[in-house]
Amino acid sequence: MNTAPLPPNAAIFRAQHLTKIYRMGEVEVPALRSIDLTLCRGELVVLLGPSGSGKSTLLNILGGLDTPTSGDVWYLDRKLTGANDRELTQFRREHVGFVFQFYNLIPSLTARENVAAVTEITRNPMPPEEALRLVGLEHRLDHFPAQLSGGEQQRVAIARAIAKRPAVLLADEPTGALDSATGVVVLEALERVNRELGTLTVLITHNAGIAEMADRVIRLFDGRIAEIRRNAAKRAACELKW
Amino acid sequence: MISALDLKLLRDLWHLRGQALAIAAVIMGGVATLVMSLTTYDSLVRTRDRFYADYRFAQVFALLERAPESLAERLREIPGVDRLETRVRAGVKLEVAGFADPITGLIFSLPDGAEPELNRLHLKRGRLPAPYSPDEIVLSDTFADAHGLQPGDRLAAIINGRWQRLTVVGVAVSPEYVYQIAPGAMFPDFKRYGVLWMSRASLASAYDMQGAFNNLTLSLAPGTPVQPVIDRLDLLLTRYGGTGAFGREDQFSNRFLTEELKQLRTTARIFPAIFLGVAAFLLNVVVSRLITLQRGEIAILKAFGYGHLAIGWHFIKLVALVTLLGVAAGTALGAWFGQGLAAVYMETTFRFPYLDYVLRAEVVLIALTVGMLAGLCGALMAVARAVRLPPAEGMRPEAPVAYRATFVERMGLKHHLGQPSRMILRHIERRPVKSLLTVLGIACACALMMVGNYQKGAIDFMLDIQFRQAAREDVSVTFIESTSGRALNELRTLPGVYHVEGYRSVPVILRHQHLSYRTSLYGIAPEGVLHRTLDSRLRPVALPPDGVVLTDHLARAILHVGVGDTLTVEVLEGRRPVLQVPVLGITKQYLGVSAYMRQDALNALMREGPVVSGAYLGIDQGSEAQVYADLNARPRVLGMVANSASIESFYATIGEFVLFYNTIATLLAASIGFGVVYNSARIALSERSRELASLRVLGFTHGEIAYILLGELALLTLLAIPVGFLLGVGLTGILVLAFKTDLYRLPLILEPSNYALGASVVLASALVSGLILWRRLGRLELVAVLKTRE
């Protein structure tokens, strides 16, 4: 099942009554309480909320890294809940791009090779050079992570995430470890990918300023959706300040 | 009240239990080898000393033809003599019902109606012969046990040509015959050689020695030097056919015992030195890597305000606990193995009646010190590195280390390598020291295995050279006294005997400068078919016409002579001439030490005709029993040694002991090997779990990330094996150099099976560790890695 031609506004994720309860010894900590949500192709969605509100849990379940306690998630027509580890690995490999707060690059591989590490295991990827050009790193192809700044490292991570032409790009606090000027450059890269490739991009932040670049802002509080707001006039990343 | 930090310590220890146990196993292996070897040695030395003292082992011994008992009084007057006892000693042939092979033995007199003054018997069963009893005897326990003889059983003996029926009344051990070996034999043969004791009066009458003696032993007053007493004795005994008195160091049983203990002491030093050295090295590597992983924690403790000393002390305690565990387990295991080893020793080689098992505190202290030093050095260096960082920096993830394309890639192989393979190569090349240490560690494990089990092959090789290249006779026969060469014709006529070579043997003292050695000089057929001398490349060489050929060990290690030097040969027989003989050759021999001449040359030196002392026989297969029976029936044949029995008895005695030791050493080496490989693998996992989890999140499968981690382990393991082979050869070489005694010298022979065992233990350890890692990789925390830095 490939993602190739999808209608412009196809629903990529559908979540129904999504609930997640962590058991910490004898205490049960609900992280998500019956979430219903649909995310569509081409959208740039910001998940906003204080820590502990459940945004990371939601992102992890969507990305196939965690399973809900109850409720269901569909990726296109495929039900993710109940899939086994092998199927989830396959799902992440083909359809999901991840960007982490701490970049998680492989220090022993160059920028180009970090991207290639992922493109080598997927069908129909873009060349690593092209992915790096998209994030403005075409001149840093053969540098190792140790030779790159934090912002550059994060952009390599974005290139790595999008090079497989995923349907979904999930970014958990991608600017969390960066100063605001560098953060803006990273957000611009995400914005460009979203715009040019039409990749559904879900971005976690607790920084309300960033929310202004989103098509939709979903505010989570205490495991529930507190608010879904559509930005009438979304702002370009370069205009953001925090 | 237990402090929070101590609580953390215990929890950490529990958390690291797998690795802690593996580290403890490495220490245990080293310590157990040390404790086992040293306690065995200490115990046997202590047992020997106590046994010698308790049973009044004599200090000087002399053999003569015959002297009147009245001489004893004069001998007692020699200054320094404390106790002196005269005895009658007779060579006998024995017959045990149901055993057809010839048995030879020695029979000694016991004073009638009194305890012996010297060389008292430790009765294991039964009693001493009644005074003047004509047929009661005490048997040496080895012989009695080999034949299952008990007090009350009977056997027959031919004493002085007369057949006589004897009754066993006791079974005993004598300090004089702790190690019992027939003259001319290489190894003890408990079935075919025995020592007996009977009443002096009865033995004297059977051996025509009434009022006379042919053997004497004496002890010295404390502080008396031995040599003047020996010189005096020799002077006084010459006219009675004395063959030269000798001290304890030349007493047969004691000399072998000393040599064996020397061997054991070497083993007890070299083996543990190698094992403990390797274990210490591994401990150092493993501990330092373990602590490097605790970098973040150290930073946090510093942030809390703990000082360097407190933090250092904390980790020292961690390492000390693990080391203590290893030392304790190693000491217990080593003591247990040591008792087993000493028991095997006493069963196979030295028949002490009891064992004084000692575990000296020093031994434990050495083990503890080495273990602690190794552990703490590793810990301290790593802790020092970690505490030097400012806390804030320590809490941040370690800066990504700078990598570069590897040598292999620069060679142009880049296009053949996928990213995972590049990760493996770069990771190895980026930390060359660490990779090297891992390779070395695993290589050491491989080498230890080779050292541990090398002796088996070496013994096989040694016996093969001895009995298939040098001493190829099936049986060697000794005559009661030197005989005309015509006796050989008689042997040639025996059915089943296809070849006979006579030999002449003369007891001698070989002297070169201040060095001397008491042995037999053998005159053998110059181009013998059966008994041959071998050159340094183990090819048979003909003996040169005049002069002696010496065993390499005798020439180089004992007498320090080379080809062309002149040796003083002091003959201890007949006219007792002292001759100057050139050394004309050196023969390679792994077992025993001997001096050879051509028989005709020796006869000429002795100014005698073609006289022989014995013969080497080649026997047709299948006719052994017939030939043995025929030989046994010949009164002039005193004894015979069958090579097949020698080989058998070697394996049953020294061989069994060595192999028991090796088995244990191999087991310990395996435990060290596994500890190293497992720790290397576990630490690699800790170091890289974050990276691997990230890849897992990106869609890499379990198998694909396992390839990255296990591929590195596999590559390092494969690199380590040839290095281990080299190390193994080196360590074995050290062992071989240290293992040189009069009794035997082990050749440096490593068989394919040695290499195979070394490699397979490493591979098996790697496989098991790999499986454990595989399972752990399946349980990687994927979510956590998104949020954490390191």
Cross-chain Cβ contact A100/B404 below 8 Å: no
Q: Which helix (H) or strand (E) holds B124?
A: strand B122-126
Q: Does B703 touch chain A (CB under 8 A)?
A: no
Q: How far apart are CA A80 and CA B305, in angstroms?
A: 48
Q: According to the model, what pLDDT value does residue B406 have? A: 65
Looking at CA atoms only, how far is residue B417 from chain A in angstroms?
A: 11
User: Could A122 and B397 be called an inter-chain contact, meaning their C-beta atoms sit closer than 8 Å?
Assistant: no
pLDDT: is A240 or A212 the higher one?
Answer: A212
CB contact (8 A) between residue A65 and residue B690: no
For chain B, the residue count is: 790
User: pLDDT, tens digit, for every residue of A18-64?
Assistant: 999 988 777 888 899 999 999 999 999 999 988 888 988 999 899 88
Say if residues B533 and B587 touch (Cβ distance below 8 Å).
yes
Q: Cβ separation of B783 and A66 shorter than 8 Å?
A: yes
Q: At residue A175, does pLDDT exceed 60?
A: yes
Neighbouring CB atoms inside 10 A of B322's CB total 28
> Residue B320: left (phi > 0), alpha (psi -120 to 50), or beta?
alpha
* pLDDT value for B20: 82
| Residue of B692, B709, B786 for testing the chain A interface, max A β-carbons within 10 Å | B786
pLDDT along chain B (790 residues), means of 10: 73 80 83 87 90 94 93 93 94 87 89 91 93 93 92 91 91 90 75 92 92 94 92 90 88 85 79 73 70 73 74 82 89 89 79 84 86 76 72 59 64 69 80 82 86 82 87 86 85 91 91 88 86 84 87 91 92 85 90 88 90 92 85 78 80 76 79 80 81 86 89 90 93 83 82 89 89 88 63
The DSSP call for residue B621 is T
Q: Output B151 or A183, whichever has higher pLDDT.
A: B151
Interface test with B, best of A75, A86, A103, A108 (most B CBs within 10 A): A108
User: How far is B174 from B352, CA to CA, in rounded Å?
Assistant: 9
pLDDT at B12: 78
For residue A107, what are the contacts with CB-CB under 8 A and spacing of at least 6?
A: A144, A145, A146, B400, B401, B403, B691
Nearest CA in chain A to B400: A146
pLDDT at A74 over 90: yes
Which of A145, B232, B548, B138 shows the shortest CA–CA distance to A137?
Answer: A145
CB contact under 8 A, B786 and A98: yes
- Kindly report, residue by residue over A112-153, the tens digit of the pLDDT: 988 988 888 888 899 999 999 988 899 999 998 888 988 899
Chosen for mutation from A47, A91, A106, A144 (greatest number of chain B CBs closer than 10 Å) is: A106
> What is the predicted ipTM?
0.79
For residue B588 the two structure tokens come to 């390679």
Question: B378 exposed, middle or buried (CB, 10 Å; 0-12, 13-18, 19+)?
Answer: buried
Chain B positions in Cβ-Cβ contact with residue A85 (cut-off 8 Å): 702
Rounded-to-5 percentages of helix, strand, coil across chain A? 30, 30, 40
3-state secondary structure of B248: helix
Q: What is the pLDDT of residue A13?
A: 93
Strands (E), chain A: 11-24, 27-40, 44-48, 70-75, 78-79, 96-99, 168-172, 200-205, 216-221, 224-230
Count the helix, strand and coil residues of chain B and give each as a percent rounded to the nearest 5.
55, 20, 25
Alpha helices in A9-54 (DSSP H): none
B424 → chain A, closest CA residue: A108
